[in-house]
Amino acid sequence: MLKMHNIRKSFRTDTIETHALRDFSLEVKEGEFVSVTGPSGSGKTTFLNIAGLLEPSTDGQYLLDGEDVSNLNDRQRSHLRNEKIGFIFQGFNLIPDLNLFDNIDVPLRYRGFNAKERRKRIEKVLEQVGLSARARHLPAQLSGGQQQRIAIARALAGEPRFLLADEPTGNLDSLMARQVMELLEFVNEWGTTIVMVTHDPDLARRAQRNIQIVDGQVCDLRPVTEQSDAVSA
């Protein structure tokens, strides 16, 4: 599904050059649920941005779904993001002026679906996240957990092959976090590949595989069960 080889990403600000990722190689298989942990500033978000085609890498090779996407132009990357990738953010990132229905509609419009198709898909995902009754509400009228479920619905509406989540439970209390996690697990069971960055070791452990990023590199690849001590140490 995702194959990165010797990815490098550096940021140049005035005088300092930060190497956010270096010699970064990783493979994620179709249908996997991978959690990503690591210290703050280690490059987790950078990895997710490159994986999700939000940013190009400085160097290296990236195959998404078997296709080399390292050298695509902006338009091609936008279309790929729209069709193959779903995003879930820590801050939900719903559009405050649009109601929930219209929020989920945003990526579907960019996809070019007709009104009927969009409505069908929106109603379906709203039902999946259990918020059908709130379709005409504004994001501000919902709790954090509900907002994140809408954000997940928005990510799922386009039926992406690949779901990327950057600390999706970071702004939620533990009960809501658990609900969101259960939703993601459910989505994964239906075949969507998920990569989730998290600071929560319990949630990380629930994934099939955990990757630790330290200092811009994949540190270790161990089954989650053996790794729990290392995280708490």
Partner 1 sequence: MFEFKPILSTLWHHKASALLIALQLALTLVIVSNTLLIITDRMEKMARPSGMDIENILTVNFLAIPQDYDMAGAVRADLDMLRALPGVVDATHSHQIPLSGSGSANAFQTQPNQETGGEVANYYRTDPHFIESLGLALVTGRNFTETEMQVLAPNEQRQAPVIIVTRQLADKLFPGEDALGKPLYNGDSPMEIIGIVERHLGAWPEWSKAGNVVFFPALRTTQSMNYLVRTESGERDALFKLLADKLAERDSERVIEVNTLSNHMARSYAVDNMMVKVLSTVGAMLGFIVALGIVGLTSFWINQRTKQIGVRRALGATRTNISRYFLVENSLIAATGIALGAAAALIANQYLVRDYSQPVLTLLPLGICALVILLVSLGAALAPALRAANISPATATRSV
Q: Are 229 and 66 in contact (CB under 8 A)?
A: no
- Decide the pairing of beta strands 67-68 and 217-222: unpaired
Picked from Mg ion, partner 1, ligand ATP, none, the partner binding residue 75 (CB below 5 to 8 A depending on kind) is partner 1
SS3 73: coil
Compute the least distance from the CB of residue 39 to ligand ATP, in Å: 7
Tokens of 92: 């939900």
Contact partner at residue 78 from partner 1, ligand ATP, Mg ion, none, CB < 5 to 8 Å by partner kind = partner 1
Sequence-distant (6+) residues with CB within 8 A of 102 are 95
218 vs 93: CA distance, rounded Å: 28
82 binds partner 1 (CB under 8 A): yes
52 lies in the binding site for partner 1 (CB under 8 A):
yes
> Could you say whether residue 18 binds ligand ATP (CB under 6 A)?
yes
- Does position 54 bind partner 1 by CB under 8 A? yes
| Binding status of residue 205 toward partner 1 by CB under 8 A | no
User: Which of 33, 34, 37, 44 touches ligand ATP by CB under 6 A?
Assistant: 44
- The Cα–Cα gap between 76 and 86 comes to 16
Q: Using the 8-state DSSP alphabet, how is residue 142 labeled?
A: S
Under the binding rule (CB under 5 A), the answer on residue 45 touching Mg ion is yes
Stretch that binds ligand ATP, among 11-19, 65-73, 108-116, 124-132 (CB under 6 A): 11-19
Helix/strand/coil for 65: coil
- Calculate ∠ Cα 151-33-91, nearest 5°: 25
> Does the protein bind partner 1 through residue 124 (CB under 8 A)?
no
- Interaction partner, residue 230 (Mg ion, ligand ATP, partner 1, none; CB < 5-8 Å by kind): none
* 3-class DSSP state of 21: strand
The Cα–Cα gap between 64 and 55 comes to 14
Q: Which residues bind partner 1 (CB under 8 A)?
A: 45, 48-49, 52-55, 74-75, 78-79, 81-83, 87, 89, 91, 93, 95-99, 102, 105-107, 109-112, 154, 158, 166
Site residues for ligand ATP per CB under 6 A: 11, 13, 18, 20, 38, 40-46
